Amino acid sequence: MFPNIEHGLMKGRYNMKSKIAIGAVLLTAFSIILSGCNLPIGPGSNANPGAYYTQAAETIVAQLTYSVIETYVEQKTQEALVTSTPLPTFTPAATDTPTPEPTATNTPVPPTNTPIPIPCNAIQFVADVTVDDGETMSPNESFYKIWRLKNVGTCTWTKDYDLVFVSGDRMDGDKEVPLTYNVAPGNTIDVAVYLTAPDKKGVFQGFWMLRSGNGYRFGFGPYADQAFWVKINVKKSAPSEYDTPFSFYSNYCLAEWSNADQVLPCPGNSSSDAGSVIYVKKPYIEKGGQDDEPALWVRPQQKKNGKIIAEFPPILIQDGDVLTATLGCMKDATKCDVDFRIDYRIVGEDSQNLGVWNEVYDKSVTRIEEDLSFLKDEKVIFYFTVHANGSATGDDAFWMVPQIK
């Protein structure tokens, strides 16, 4: 089991035997030499020759004895070392437990969205101020389409910019309409075009964009390349008379709108000095905040004592019909001072006044309810008038939900 140790012991025994044998051989050889040699004895010496032999032999024996003892002591010392020194215990080398390699985890790296640079010219569509998508029109009906747009680019839109027709149904509108004022980034503008519904039934849609002074067309969307549009549904011609209930606000363009000098387009353009009417779904009014009922926003002709008048087609009145509306000034129209007036005319007769109501900007509104039973079975034409008291500047007023019910 321990070959090196056994080999050492055997080697020690062998060396001792060898030394004893060698010693015997040397002693025999030495005796022969002495017997064959005539050792000189000094003159006058009393020495006995035998004594020399004896002395030599003793010397050799002593040296051999010392050598044997030395060898024996060395052997015993080795045995003692082997006995007293504990044998090394075989300990298997520690096996290095391999440290597991970290498992590569494919952690998804979120894609880096490269931001799209803000272009010089870009639009954010805000609202259809007039004519909602799919709004019903009569054949050959004229109207203003107004979009509210916000400048979300980095360049100012100047008066060199135009509203331009791109594709679809142009509806007799101008191919280009210049902007009326500059629009800095972050500001909005109402852009309008005067259109006429086709003379046939169907759905018609026209696409429009803005164009910069150097001829670059742009719109809305991530790349400012999407057009905005107007879409109408043309149905059969309007009847010569209407029954009740009747909504003046949803049929407001059935009326002919005018000032003292001319007929006005419907819907109108709020920036026109000739006066205008615009349908507003949720108007901001003087009473505070935004109302959730629709209204007709009207501005009289912008001159002293200017006015705007609507003449509606004949309506057949029934017993129990009531004309209702809420009257007031628009939010922030602090200079508003107008008279609301409703007149009526039975077909074939002269006009009569139904009522007059004054409105100023005082954060209150007027609610009217007029019984029409006295007009039962009559075909009646109604006139709605808003008249400025003095200067018409800032006279932004509204008819809220005017109707016969």
Degrees to nearest 5, angle at CA 190 with 184 and 191: 100
Q: Is the pLDDT at 315 greater than 80, yes or no?
A: yes
- For domain 241-405, which architecture applies? Sandwich (2.60)
Q: Is the pLDDT at 58 greater than 60, yes or no?
A: no
Q: Look up residue 149 and give its two tokens.
A: 């747009």
pTM of the model: 0.49
What pLDDT, on the 0 to 100 scale, is given for residue 99? 53
Q: Is the pLDDT at 191 greater than 90, yes or no?
A: yes
CA distance 327 to 361: 11
Tell me the pLDDT band of 193, cut-offs 50, 70 and 90. Answer: very high
Can you tell me the mean pLDDT for 274-278? Answer: 95
What pLDDT, on the 0 to 100 scale, is given for residue 49? 46
What pLDDT, on the 0 to 100 scale, is given for residue 138? 82
What pLDDT, on the 0 to 100 scale, is given for residue 328? 96
pLDDT digits (tens, 9 = 90+) for 149-159: 999 999 999 99
pLDDT digits (tens, 9 = 90+) for 337-378: 999 999 999 998 999 999 999 999 999 999 999 999 999 999
| CATH 2.60.40.10 describes domain 118-237 | yes
Q: Comparing 13 with 281, which gets the higher pLDDT?
A: 281
Can you tell me the mean pLDDT for 209-224? Answer: 96
Q: Is the pLDDT at 167 greater than 70, yes or no?
A: yes
Can you tell me the mean pLDDT for 310-326? Answer: 96
What pLDDT, on the 0 to 100 scale, is given for residue 225? 95
Tell me the pLDDT band of 238, cut-offs 50, 70 and 90. Answer: low
**What single-letter amino acid sits at 344?**
Y
What pLDDT, on the 0 to 100 scale, is given for residue 109? 60
What pLDDT, on the 0 to 100 scale, is given for residue 371? 97
CATH 2.60.40.10 intervals, the chain: 118-237
Question: Worst-scoring range by mean pLDDT, 88-92, 134-138, 190-194?
Answer: 88-92
> Percent of the chain, pLDDT > 70?
70
Question: Mind giving me the DSSP string for 328-396?
Answer: EEBTT-TT-EEEEEEEEEETTS-EEEEEEEEEESSS--EEEEEE-GGGTT-EEEEEEEEEESS--TT--
CATH 2.60.120.200 intervals, the chain: 241-405
Bridge partners, residue 233, by sequence? 136, 203
Q: Comparing 318 with 98, which gets the higher pLDDT?
A: 318
Q: Is the pLDDT at 83 greater than 50, yes or no?
A: no
β-pairing, 162-168 vs 228-234, is unpaired
Q: Is the pLDDT at 174 greater than 70, yes or no?
A: yes
Q: Is the pLDDT at 60 greater than 50, yes or no?
A: no
Q: Comparing 318 with 137, which gets the higher pLDDT?
A: 318
Q: Is the pLDDT at 401 greater than 90, yes or no?
A: yes
Q: Which of 100-109, 110-119, 363-372 has the highest mean pLDDT?
A: 363-372
Degrees to nearest 5, angle at CA 190 with 187 and 191: 120
What pLDDT, on the 0 to 100 scale, is given for residue 116? 72
Q: Is the peptide bond before 119 cis (omega within 30 degrees of 0)?
A: no
Alpha helices by DSSP H, listed for 37-97, are 49-84
Q: Rounded mean pLDDT of the chain? A: 81
What pLDDT, on the 0 to 100 scale, is given for residue 200? 84
Residue 21: DSSP 8-state: H
